């Protein structure tokens, strides 16, 4: 596993985007950031998944090892690679609670959360959290889910209530905007929650 992890880091270094990496170093969001673009990371993730299959390595263990790295690209790859059947709710909470940047929250909620059978449960749980990053993860997850699945009456009421109480969070506003765009009825309901949207 360590050899594969080292090979992945070498691959990431080889694909480094100097301009993006230099800008990222100024923000100090990560210990290491090579500035590798998302399309290239997606291709690397496909290669890694194939490599794990060929070597009979645990993709779950590799994803966890990547997540434990203080590196932007490793964390994004972890989100892309984690098998959903091996990702328990408890581990999901641990990952979400360890997120320190909006970019990783966005990648986590884009690449991993919508694939989980319990994504909706976590989204509502996190939206009610006192921790801003968890609230962000809750609203980001819901942004992806409401595009695919209709909300029942109770879920809709909870979402509108939580979003209305979190208008200082731009992802709550984004979720409201997406929900409003789905139908005129939704738009009317959102307007009652936030007149300026």
The pLDDT tens digits of the residues spanning 36-82 come to 999 999 999 999 999 888 887 899 999 999 999 999 999 999 999 99
**146-181 pLDDT per residue, tens:** 999 999 999 999 999 999 999 999 999 999 999 999
* Separation of alpha carbons 74 and 32, rounded Å: 10
* Separation of alpha carbons 16 and 7, rounded Å: 14
In this prediction, residue 182 has a pLDDT band, given cuts at 50, 70 and 90, of: very high
* Separation of alpha carbons 103 and 40, rounded Å: 17
Work out the average pLDDT over 98-103: 95
* Separation of alpha carbons 18 and 68, rounded Å: 24
User: What does pTM read for this prediction?
Assistant: 0.89
């Amino acid at each position: 596993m360590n050899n594969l992890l080292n090979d992945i880091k070498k691959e990431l270094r080889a694909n480094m985007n100097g301009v993006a990496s230099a800008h990222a170093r100024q923000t100090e969001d990560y210990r290491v950031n090579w500035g590798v673009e998302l399309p290239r990371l997606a291709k690397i993730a496909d290669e890694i998944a194939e490599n794990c299959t060929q070597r009979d390595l645990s993709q779950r263990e590799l994803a966890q090892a990547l997540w434990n790295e203080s590196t932007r690209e490793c964390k994004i790859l972890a989100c892309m690679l984690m098998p959903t059947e091996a990702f328990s709710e408890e581990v999901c909470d641990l990952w979400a609670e360890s997120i320190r940047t909006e970019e990783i929250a966005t990648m986590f909620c884009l690449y991993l959360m919508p694939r989980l059978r319990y994504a909706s449960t976590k989204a509502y749980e996190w939206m009610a959290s006192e921790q801003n990053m968890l609230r962000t993860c809750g609203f980001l997850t819901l942004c992806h889910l409401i595009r695919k699945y209709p909300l029942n009456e109770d879920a809709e009421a909870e979402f509108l209530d939580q979003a209305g109480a979190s208008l200082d969070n731009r992802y709550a506003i984004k979720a409201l905007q997406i929900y409003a765009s789905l139908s005129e009825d939704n738009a009317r309901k959102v307007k009652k929650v936030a007149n300026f949207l």
